[in-house]
Amino acid sequence: MNKVSRYLISTILFMEALDATMLYVALPKITMGFGGALLQGDWIIIGFLLAVALSMFVSSWIASFSGAKKTFLLAQLAYIFSSLSCSFSNNLDQLIVFRILQGTFAGIVIPIGIDYWLRLKKQEDPQFVGSKLYLYEMFLALIVGPIYAGYVVEFIGWRALFLIKLPVSVACFLASWFLLKKIKIEERKSFHWRGYLLFSLALFFMIFSITKIGHLSTNYLSIITTFLVAVFSIAGFIRYELIHKNPIVNFHLFKDLKVSIGFALQSIVVIVFMGAIFILSIFLIGALKFTIIETAWIVSSLGIGIWVAVFLMKAIEKILPEMFVITFSLLILSISMYLLTSITIDTPKLWIASIIFIEGIAAGMFRTVNTNLIFHLPSVKNYLEDVSRVFTFINQIMITLGVAITVMIVELNLDLHNITTLSWATPESAKNAYNLVFYILAVLPIVGIFLVGITKFKLKSTKAKKE
């Protein structure tokens, strides 16, 4: 029975991950279907990811009071209804609202689902295994999601993306009702609501200002105001977190140089590979006029590359030094971003898929080594719990930032050339706007390599002083 329940939880987590990946390819068709510009529906994805990240933190707190199973079931049910609502949206604004609701309930389901899976599996280092579990679900969804979206949108329509999945979600809900036992989640007696609200405001206003800064015609006073609200909210959040007994984010973790660099590098890589995959779909469909199915297979090669890297690292991670693998993977990631600038309508699709596949291998190699490095530092009280929370949260936030930043760069480039939307851009001007994104994304891993060099130097200096 435990094995069946674990498969059930894995299926539920995969369905949540699928909702995060399937719309990367479908977004251009959805926005154009509503008569909007190519990038106008960015908050369909951003809103979902942001809601998942923020609701993850309150999931365990809610479950500790109302019961894990009850919370898990109610969140699943609400998720099903929000998915159904997405399919019946009449305009982009409605779809964005329903996607935010969908992300909110998905964010509640995911941590409780991981907790169930770990108790059934009875793993050591549960926080480490739990973080990797959902990460692997995301990797699989990066293969299945684009292909699923490509064929469904092409032959049925984008609304069917949400409807086809509903029977599986309903079956998982009913199976959870009958198969899962009640579990007790340790009660958090003093959830830091002030810090949580401050950070939620900061995150929302920061993402919002980033996505709007690309419009030169926008009122810059309002953008500056929202950005300042974000900055002051973050400052207040850090201040309260440092003095709170039960912080949401334990900033003392960052006193360790390897932890700080590990999270900084994680942020860079997530922004690069998820930002690239978001903008690539729009580039191929909107500028180069690839079909959605062609785009889906190209994009899915990212997930395939990641999985190849995961299995490859099992064979070589004990042979090669960690810092060498991290540096090498960052270099390959940078090169793959640069190669994307050479893509034209005449570029063989297999070559484009190969570039994305190489990007996936680089990202997978990096994530495997860097994750192990972050989680296997000196064991101290509550270290794994604290670092797991920060790891998952940073991962979700940087995926959101990756999308927001790429949208900002493209729109800012178009506005600088007095082009209102991508729909009005010539193929050459559109390509230049996208290429700027890929150039900037190519630079970020080089910054990561520089950080690795600083880390090596400081570690050697510290070691020399001790000797």
Cα 217 to Cα 373: distance, rounded to the nearest angstrom: 45
The answer to whether residue 188 sits within a structural domain is: no
Helix residue ranges per DSSP H, 156-256: 160-179, 193-212, 220-243
pLDDT value, residue 159: 92
Q: What is the span of the domain harbouring residue 82?
A: 1-181
pLDDT value, residue 167: 93
In this structure, the answer to whether residues 369 and 413 fall within a common structural domain is yes
Question: Would you say 363 and 305 are in contact if contact means Cβ atoms under 8 Å apart?
Answer: yes
Domain boundary among 146, 181, 216: 181
Q: What is the pLDDT of residues 275-308, one digit of tens each?
A: 888 888 888 887 788 899 999 999 999 999 999 9
Q: Is the dihedral of CA 187, 193, 197, 203 positive or negative?
A: negative
Domain boundary among 160, 181, 202: 181
Q: What is the CA radius of gyration of the chain?
A: 22
Token pair 């590990």 is at which residue? 262
- Tokens describing residue 381: 């009280």
Token pair 């990212």 is at which residue? 302
The enclosing H or E element of 180 equals none
In this structure, the answer to whether residues 271 and 399 fall within a common structural domain is yes
Cα 361 to Cα 359: distance, rounded to the nearest angstrom: 6
pLDDT one digit per residue (tens) for the chain, 467 residues = 577 888 888 888 888 889 888 988 998 888 888 877 667 788 899 999 899 988 988 887 888 777 888 899 999 999 999 999 999 999 999 999 999 999 999 999 988 888 777 776 664 444 445 556 667 788 888 899 999 999 999 999 999 999 999 999 999 999 988 888 766 655 555 667 777 888 888 888 888 888 877 665 566 777 888 888 888 888 888 887 777 777 777 777 777 777 788 888 999 999 998 888 888 888 888 778 889 999 999 999 999 999 999 888 888 877 888 888 999 999 999 999 999 988 888 889 999 999 999 999 999 999 888 887 777 655 555 566 677 777 777 888 888 888 888 888 887 777 666 665 555 455 666 677 788 889 999 999 999 999 888 877 776 666 656 65
- Tokens describing residue 229: 């609200």
Q: What is the pLDDT of residues 66-86, one digit of tens each?
A: 788 889 999 999 999 999 999
In this structure, the answer to whether residues 176 and 258 fall within a common structural domain is no
Q: What are the angstrom distances between the C-alpha of 251 and each of 170, 237, 238, 254, 426?
A: 40, 11, 8, 6, 48
In this structure, the answer to whether residues 68 and 197 fall within a common structural domain is no
In this structure, the answer to whether residues 336 and 306 fall within a common structural domain is yes
pLDDT value, residue 190: 61
Q: Which residues 6+ apart lie within 8 Å of 236 measured at CB?
A: 198
In this structure, the answer to whether residues 353 and 298 fall within a common structural domain is yes
Q: State the total domains in the chain.
A: 3
In this structure, the answer to whether residues 172 and 290 fall within a common structural domain is no
The answer to whether residue 199 sits within a structural domain is: yes
Looking up residue 403, the CATH number of its domain turns out to be: 1.20.1250.20
The answer to whether residue 186 sits within a structural domain is: no
Question: Would you say 130 and 115 are in contact if contact means Cβ atoms under 8 Å apart?
Answer: yes
The answer to whether residue 187 sits within a structural domain is: no
What do you get for the CA distance between the two ends of the chain, in Å?
Answer: 56
Q: What is the pLDDT of residues 1-27, one digit of tens each?
A: 577 888 888 888 888 889 888 988 998
> Whose CA is closest to 365, among 306, 447, 427, 291?
306
pLDDT value, residue 263: 87
Q: What is the pTM for the complete model shown? A: 0.88
The burial class, CB within 10 Å (0-12 / 13-18 / 19+), for 324 is exposed
The answer to whether residue 440 sits within a structural domain is: yes
In this structure, the answer to whether residues 311 and 371 fall within a common structural domain is yes
In this structure, the answer to whether residues 332 and 408 fall within a common structural domain is yes
Q: Residue 41, SS3?
A: coil
- Tokens describing residue 314: 């099992």
The burial class, CB within 10 Å (0-12 / 13-18 / 19+), for 124 is exposed
In this structure, the answer to whether residues 243 and 138 fall within a common structural domain is no
Cα 381 to Cα 456: distance, rounded to the nearest angstrom: 27
Domain boundary among 247, 264, 288: 247
The answer to whether residue 99 sits within a structural domain is: yes
In this structure, the answer to whether residues 214 and 109 fall within a common structural domain is no
In this structure, the answer to whether residues 135 and 237 fall within a common structural domain is no
The answer to whether residue 9 sits within a structural domain is: yes
